[in-house]
Amino acid sequence: MTESAPVDDMNATADAPSVSLSPWVTCCAYLMLLLATTPDAMFPPVLKVLLVERYDVGIGSAFWFMAVNMIGVLAVLPFLPWLRRVMSPGRLIATAAVINGVCYWLMSLPLGLEWTLCIRAFEGAPDMVVLASLLALVGRSGDEERRGFRFGLAGTVMMLGLVIGLVSGGIFGERFPSGVFVVGAIECGVLAMIAVAIRRHLPQRGVQVGHPVEVHRLHRRYPIWPAMLMYFCDRGLGGALTIAGAVYLTFELGMSSSLAGRLPAITLFLMVIFNGPVGWLADRVGLLRVRVVAFPLYGLAFLGLSLGDSLGQGWLYLMFSLMGCAGAGLIPTSLALGARAGGGATDMGLLQTSGQFGYFIAIVASGLWVAGMPGPIADDGGVRSDLDWSLLFIVFGLAYIALNMVAILGVVWRKIRPRAHAITCSEST
């Protein structure tokens, strides 16, 4: 075995079979993915107005609002295989999207903070079902050798949704803050209508594992935990960027909500441009080779945000831009590696759950960190506050790099050690 063999073999043919989707159905799947990722990104720029000022609560409630939907994510995960067996993808996506839209509409009403948080917690379940089902379709809708490119396009669509959400959320924050919920409900309704329209062109209810074409899926070639750890890190640092970053820009640096939405949008916009090309490149030069270049730059650029207060907006623009260029190598590689472990809705659900858990951890840690900071009238003149913000960016950046190194070693070690056991995969997509 050559030194590069563990990396090169990551582009070998995967075990999971693919399904045949027409080009227009594939475009519809990507459009649904866009609609599914936009609403949540609209919230960060308006959290101050939407929760802190609306309900007269502390800034910690804004972080909990973004994190509490993890309850719904974890609650629905064990039921994904059963849902996939009893419902076709089209019906499952449409049903979950309608429930999600109703939750958004309810949150637009002045229900009080407690009820809003309860609905937000429940909303995590249908949101995860939609995303897991759509990503599973993407992963199994073509040649195995082009998974990096397909997930690169999926990353492009998802980042575009986040860009649209951040920018539009910043605009609504200055005019009609609660409108973000109404827009989210409308987008979920459109998503459901698309799913119903193409349901006959999607796979029907889940094929049993005993089906002849499913036999190979009983033996996964790679474990899924390294990809889960990668996606945990990617979503976690992304959550820290969009949530803690937006709070940092508005509360600490005194920027407007529109500017606080545009700066992180630079990162997402560059990922929109480069996700597809980088995914195409990863299919050819190796998923791990692309990953080991991308994640250190991404983590170091996030760490560099700690100097934003002293170096000014120019430095912030540079760091957000570097994160966008490096971040284009994250989603195509983590999702493609996860798809090679099985590729079904349950596998994508595991990835989504790990990503949401990383998002949850990052937001809760950021909220606890930020909520304890002294205000502008502190006796020390805010020096300690600046130090706390710097430590937040440094700790998150270094932790991101360290955990990614563990995930990379997990992939390589599994490749070079004897294949001693097989893991059963539960269901198809």
Tens of each residue's pLDDT in the chain, 429 residues: 333 333 333 333 333 445 556 678 888 889 999 999 998 888 877 777 777 677 777 666 776 787 788 888 888 888 888 887 888 888 999 999 999 999 999 988 888 888 888 999 999 999 989 988 888 888 776 666 677 788 888 888 888 887 788 778 877 766 777 788 888 999 999 999 999 998 887 766 544 433 334 334 434 456 788 889 999 999 888 878 877 777 777 776 767 666 776 787 788 788 888 888 888 898 888 888 999 999 999 999 998 887 877 777 788 889 989 999 998 889 888 888 877 655 566 677 788 888 888 888 887 777 777 665 433 433 443 333 555 677 888 888 999 999 999 999 988 876 665 444 444 444 333
Chain CA centroid to CA 332, Å: 12
- What is the C-alpha separation between 240 and 356, in angstroms, rounded? 12
Q: Say what the pLDDT of residue 167 is.
A: 78
**Of 138, 136, 191, 128, whose CA–CA distance to 355 is shortest?**
128
pTM of the model: 0.71
Here the tokens at position 251 are 């509360």
Q: What is the pLDDT of residue 382?
A: 37
Distance CA 428, CA 211 (A): 10
Q: Rounded to whole angstroms, how far apart are CA atoms 235 and 304?
A: 18
CA distances from 236 to 127, 209, 302 (A): 17, 33, 12
Cα 209–chain centre separation? 29
Tell me the HSE value of 427 on the side-chain side, using a 13 A CA sphere.
25
CB atoms inside a 10 Å sphere around CB 391: 12
Q: Quick check: is 423 in a domain?
A: no
Tell which residue, 281, 258, 75, has the closest CA to residue 175. Answer: 258
Q: Would 296 be classed as within a structural domain?
A: yes
How far is CA 141 from its chain centroid? 20
For residue 159, tell me if it sits in a domain: yes
- Whether 427 is covered by a domain: the verdict is no
Amino acid at 78: P
CA–CA separation, 351 vs 334, rounded Å?
9
| CATH number of residue 13's parent domain | 1.20.1250.20
Residue 55 lies in a domain: yes
3-state secondary structure of 314: helix
What residues make up the domain containing 388? 5-416
CA distance 194 to 242: 29
- Confirm if 55 and 252 have CB atoms less than 8 A apart: no
Q: What are phi and psi of 3, to 5 degrees?
A: -65, -35
**Alpha carbon 322 to chain centroid distance?**
19
Domain membership of residue 422 (yes or no) is no
> Is residue 256 classed as helix, strand or coil in its secondary structure?
coil
- Per-residue confidence (pLDDT) for residue 344, from 0 to 100: 63
What's the maximum distance between 2 C-alpha atoms anywhere in the chain?
Answer: 72
pLDDT of residue 218: 38
Rounded to whole angstroms, the Cα distance separating 285 from 408 reads: 16
Cα gap 14→220, rounded to integer Å: 9
Contact status, residue 412 vs residue 288, Cβ threshold 8 Å: yes
Work out how many domains the chain is built from and give that number.
Answer: 1
**What does the chain come to in residues?**
429
Residue 214 maps to a domain: yes
Return d(Cα 401, Cα 424) in angstroms, integer.
31
Residues 6+ apart with CB under 8 A from 420: none
